[in-house]
Structure formats: C-alpha cells, structure tokens
C-alpha cells in the first residue's frame, strides 16, 4: 500500500520561519525546531533551513538529511521540511533563508558542517554550494 503524504507549507516570511505540518494517514508531526534563545548571536538569528522532502530529493536521502538537521538544533534556526524547491535531480536540496544559500547533494554526514560553519558561524560551506545559484562557489 502506498503511503500518501501531504505537505502544508506557506511562504517563508523574513522572520521567523513558519513551522509546517507533515500529514500522513496515521500521524501528524510538527517538525518546527526553533528555540527561544538569545538574539545576540547575529550569525544564527532567525534563519530558516528548508530541506526538500519531495519525491526526487526523498529518493536521494532527504529524509535522513532532515533528521540530521533536526538532531542538531540551533538557537533561532528553524528547520522545516519543504515541498519541491524546483531543483529536482540535484538533491537532496537544502535552502537557508534569509541568506538565500542553496546546498545541493547534501549528505547526512555533511549536516554537522553546515550547522557549525553556516548556522553557528555565519559562513557558507563553499564546497557544498549549489553550482547553479552560486557559480563561483
Ligand atoms: S524534489 Fe527536491 S527540488 Fe524537486
């Protein structure tokens, strides 16, 4: 039996990122990972990490990437499952807002590097950038 899954998603406002609900026949799960810690760290203030969970990215391991982000919560960073980000075949795709930084082909073991370097220190991970939107890397 095929399990149907629906994504409820609204446009990501500047701050904070909305939570979304994953709905399945058997469960509903809120995956909002935001927290209410200090606003003094501007490198991680009110960011939103969108991890595509649509068909192609999912086949490429996006569920494990989302789980890896969820396992490493960062103050004022919200991690959400996203519907298709329009870059199918280059996934799993991850988009960090409001920075507009795209990561492609993200593997679960690379998530700690994104968390540490980008979300906590404010410096994008050059070698993981999506070539189409970051041609100079
Ligand atoms: S399925 Fe992930 S970008 Fe389209």
- The CATH number of whichever domain residue 113 belongs to comes to 3.40.30.10
Q: Is residue 10 part of a domain?
A: no
Domain annotation covers residue 124: yes
Q: Determine the structural domain holding residue 102 and report its residue range.
A: 37-137
Is this model's pTM higher than 0.85 or not? no
Based on the number of CB atoms within 10 Å of its own CB, is 49 exposed (0-12), middle (13-18) or buried (19 or more)?
buried
Ligand 1, atom nearest to 55 Cα = 1
Alpha carbon of 116 to ligand 1 centroid (Å)? 25
Is 5 inside a domain boundary? no
pLDDT of residue 134: 95
Asked, for residue 134, whether it belongs to a domain, the answer is yes
Structure confidence at residue 20 (pLDDT): 41
84-127 pLDDT, tens digit each: 999 999 999 999 999 999 999 999 999 999 999 999 999 999 99
* pLDDT bracket for residue 13 (50, 70, 90): very low
CA of 132 to the centre of ligand 1 (A): 14
Indicate if ligand 1 lies below 6 Å from the C-beta of 91: yes
Which DSSP string corresponds to the chain? -PPPEEEE-----SSSPPP-EEEESS-EEE--------S--GGGTTEEEEEE-SHHHHHTTHHHHHHHHHTS--TTEEEEEES--S-TTS-S-EEEETTTEEE-S--GGGHHHIIIIIITT----GGGB-TTT-TT-
54 in contact with ligand 1, CB cutoff 6 A:
yes
Domain assignment present for residue 97? The answer is yes
HSE-up of residue 46 (Cα within 13 Å, Cβ side)? 10
Q: Ligand 1 pocket, 83 CB below 6 A?
A: no
pLDDT in tens, 21-69: 333 333 333 333 333 333 334 454 699 999 999 999 999 999 999 999 9
Sequence-ordered list of residues with C-beta below 8 angstroms from that of 11, at least 6 positions apart, any chain = none
Ligand 1 pocket, 96 CB below 6 A?
Answer: no
Per-residue b or e along 75-91, where b marks 16 or more CB atoms closer than 10 Å to that residue's CB: bbbbbbbbeebebeebb
Does residue 2 belong to any structural domain of this protein?
no
Instruction: State if residue 87 touches ligand 1 by the CB under 6 angstroms criterion.
Output: yes
The total of structural domains in the chain comes to 1
Q: Answer yes or no: is 106 within a domain.
A: yes
Residue 12 lies in a domain: no
Residues 6+ apart with CB under 8 A from 131: 104, 137
What separation in Å is there between the alpha carbon of 35 and the centre of ligand 1?
27
């Amino acid at each position: 039996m095929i399990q149907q899954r629906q994504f409820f998603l609204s446009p990501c406002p500047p701050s904070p990122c909305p939570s979304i609900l994953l709905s399945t026949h058997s469960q509903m799960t809120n995956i909002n990972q935001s927290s209410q810690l200090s606003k003094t760290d501007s490198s991680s203030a009110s960011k939103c990490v969108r991890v595509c969970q649509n068909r192609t990215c999912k086949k490429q391991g996006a569920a494990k990437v989302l789980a890896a982000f969820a396992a490493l919560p960062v103050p004022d960073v919200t991690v959400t499952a996203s519907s298709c980000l329009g870059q199918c075949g280059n996934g799993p795709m991850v988009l960090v807002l409001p920075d507009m930084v795209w990561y492609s082909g993200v593997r679960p073991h690379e998530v700690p590097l994104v968390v540490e370097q980008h979300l906590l220190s404010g410096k994008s991970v050059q070698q993981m950038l999506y070539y189409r939107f970051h041609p100079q890397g």
